[in-house]
Structure 1
Amino acid sequence: MGVGLTSGTGRPGRHLPRRDDPIGSLTGGLCERLRLRPGRGGTIRGRSGRTDALAFAATVEQAAAGLSRRGMCLGDVVGVLAPVSPDRFLASYTVMAVGGRALTVSPESDLRTQYRALAETDARLLLVSADLAGRALELAERSRIRQIITFGTALGATPFTDLLLPSPDGNGYSPARGLFDNGLLGYETVGDDILTTLHTHHDLLARFAELREGLALTADDVVAVGERGDEATRLALVALALWTGACVVAGDGCPPPEGRRVTVACDPAPVRISLPHPDGVR
C-alpha cells in the first residue's frame, strides 16, 4: 500500500501516519488514523449506549489535555475506580495519554484494600464512575486523594466533561507526542501487604502486538470484554480492536449489536470463538 504514497507540501498522502502502531500510549495516533479512514472506524459499547471509535479517541486526547492543564505530570499515578465499561477504558487511556500511570482500583476490593492501594502508589487523583462516587469520597477521606473526577455528576466531585473544555489561553498539551513513562499499575494483597505491579507502555505494546498476530482481528469482528481476565490484556485488546475498526462490547451483560454475534471474547484470555459475518453492521 505504501508504493503510491509521497511526502512533501501539497502532495497526496503527506498527512498519512507513518505506521499503524500506537505511539507513546495505546491510543497515541489513533484519532489521526480514524480521521483518515472515515466510515471504517468501529464502536465501543456499554450497557448505557455506544460511542463511535473516532469520538472515543478524540475524547481521550481532549481529556488528556485537560488533565495536563490541571497539573498532572509524567509518571503521576491516577486511580481509576469503575466496573469494566467504556468509562473505565476512557479513564485509563486518558491517564496514559498524559504520560501517567493508571491504577485500576477494583470495585470488588474492600475499602481497606482500595485505600491501601491508593496510599501505596501515592495517588492524588481518582477517576470514578458515577455509581461509585460515594465510595470515592470515602477513599478521599482516608488517603492522599485531592481531587475526584466522575463520569456524571456527584456532590464534591468534578465532572469528567470539565476536562474537555478548551484551554483558556489557546495553548494545550498534545498527547500525540511519544511518551514512554506511562503504563498500568495493578495490585494484589499478599498477607498484610499490598504488592503493586507496573505494566509499562513497552509491556502493553508487546501484548498489543501478540494479540494482533494471534487473533487477526478485522473490522467485522465483535470483541467482548467482561470482568474476567487480566486488566493489562484487556487494555491492549480493546486498543487493538479500536485500531482495527472492530466493535467492542464492554462489561458483563452488554449485548452485541443487533444482527451480530461476539467473535472474540476475553474469558479470561482473549480467544477467537467464531468468524465474523461479512455483512454485519457496526
Structure 2
Amino acid sequence: MGVGLSSGTGRPGRHLPRRDDPIGSLTGGLCERLRLRSGRVGTVRGHGYRVDALTFATEVERAAAGLSRRGICFGDVVGILAPVSPQRFLATYTVKAVGGRALPLSITSDTDTQCAVLTETDTRLLFVSADMAPRALELAERSRVRQVISFGTALGTTPFRELLQPSPDGSGYSPARGLFDNGILGYERTANGLLTTLYPYSDLMARFAELRDRLELTSDDVVAVDEGGDEVARVVLVALALWTGACVVAGAGCPPPEGRQVTVRCAPEPERVADPPADGGY
C-alpha cells in the first residue's frame, strides 16, 4: 500500500506536502529547498566548526545513502554519543533520513546505563565524537554494537567521511525512505528499571509545526542550543532553523556570528529571548 500525502489544497489525487515542509524526516527535501532558495541560507556553527546549511543538509543525504549501503534497515536503532554539537545533529538527521530510529545518548549517563539502553534496543551501530571514542569502544565491547563511526580520527573506529563516498552503482538518497518507522528514542532510569520512549515522525512534525507558529523564525534569527535543552526539542528546533535559513550555534558557550546576538534559545524549552534587527541588518 502506498503512503498517501496531502498538500491541503483540496485537489483530488496524490499530493506532496508544500515545499517548505519536511518530507519523511525532519530534513527530507531540505536540500532542494535550499538550492532553490533565493534569500540567505543559514549556517551551522560549533566550536571549531562552521558550515553553510546547504552543505550540512547535503552531508545528511550522502551519509544516509552510505548507511543504507552498510545495511541499515527501516526501524533499526542507531546510537549517537557526542556532546551537543553540529556532529550530534548531523548523526541524528542522518539516521532519521535513512528510515532508522536515532538514539542520542546523554554524555552524563553512566556507562552501565548507556550499555543497558544500547542492549535493550538492540543497537548495532554507534556514531561518536572523536573525544568520546574510548567510551564508545568500551560500550561496543559490553553490548551488541558492532561498528563505531567517528567524527574525526580515532583508533578502532570507522571515519564518518567514509559514509560520504559515492555509491559504486550510482544509487543515492531518496526522501521517501524516511516515510517509514523513523523517530527519536529517549530513555530514563525509573523505579521499575530502564524506560525507553519513541518519538515518531508524526510527533516530531507536530512539534515542528507548533514551534514554527509560535517562534516565527526568520533568516535573521540566531538559534542557540546546548546541553540545557530537551533532546527532542533541540532536534526539532535546529531542523526548523535550517528550513528557515536561520543561523544555528550548537554547544555550551559557542558564540554567535560577529555582530549578531542569540535571539532564540532552547533552555530547556525553545523560547524567543530577543528580536532580530527590524531592518534585517547587523
* Aligned counterparts, 1:20-99, within 5 A: 20-38=20-38, 40-99=40-99
Please list every run of 5 or more consecutive structure 1 residues that lacks an aligned counterpart in the other structure: 1-15
Q: Percent identity?
A: 72
Amino acid of the structure 1 residue aligned with 2:157:
A
Question: How high is the TM-score relative to the length of structure 2?
Answer: 0.91
How far apart are residue 31 of structure 1 and its match?
A: 0.5
Per the alignment, residue 6 of structure 1 pairs with none
Contact 1:188–1:194 (CA<8 Å) still a contact in 2? yes
How far apart are residue 171 of structure 1 and its match?
A: 2.3
Contact 2:19–2:33 (CA<8 Å) still a contact in 1? no
Please list every run of 5 or more consecutive structure 2 residues that lacks an aligned counterpart in the other structure: 1-15
Change in Cα spacing, 1:280 to 1:82, as seen in structure 2 (3 Å) is farther
* Aligned counterparts, 1:224-239, within 5 A: 224-239=224-239
Change in Cα spacing, 1:247 to 1:173, as seen in structure 2 (3 Å) is closer
* 1:191-220 deviation per Cα after TM superposition (whole angstroms, max 9, x unaligned): 361100000000000110000000000000
Per the alignment, residue 101 of structure 1 pairs with 101
Does residue 208 (structure 1) correspond to residue 174 (structure 2)? The answer is: no
Question: How high is the TM-score relative to the length of structure 1?
Answer: 0.91
Please say which of residues 45-54 and 166-175 is displaced more in the overlay. 166-175
Change in Cα spacing, 1:121 to 1:177, as seen in structure 2 (3 Å) is closer
Contact 2:23–2:175 (CA<8 Å) still a contact in 1? no
Q: Secondary structure at the match of 2:90?
A: helix
Per the alignment, residue 250 of structure 2 pairs with 250
* 1:147-183 deviation per Cα after TM superposition (whole angstroms, max 9, x unaligned): 0000001111000000000011222342355513100
Q: Secondary structure at the match of 1:127?
A: strand
Per the alignment, residue 193 of structure 1 pairs with 193
Per the alignment, residue 139 of structure 1 pairs with 139
Please say which of residues 82-91 and 229-238 is displaced more in the overlay. 229-238
RMSD: 1.5
Does residue 168 (structure 1) correspond to residue 172 (structure 2)? The answer is: no
Contact 1:260–1:280 (CA<8 Å) still a contact in 2? no
Number of residue pairs aligned between Structure 1 and Structure 2: 266
Contact 2:223–2:247 (CA<8 Å) still a contact in 1? yes
Question: For residues 280 and 75 of structure 1, what CA distance do their matches in structure 2 show?
Answer: 44
Deviating 4+ runs (over 4 angstroms): none
How far apart are residue 37 of structure 1 and its match?
A: 1.1
* 1:80-108 deviation per Cα after TM superposition (whole angstroms, max 9, x unaligned): 00000000000000000000000011111
* 1:37-63 deviation per Cα after TM superposition (whole angstroms, max 9, x unaligned): 155210010011211000000000000
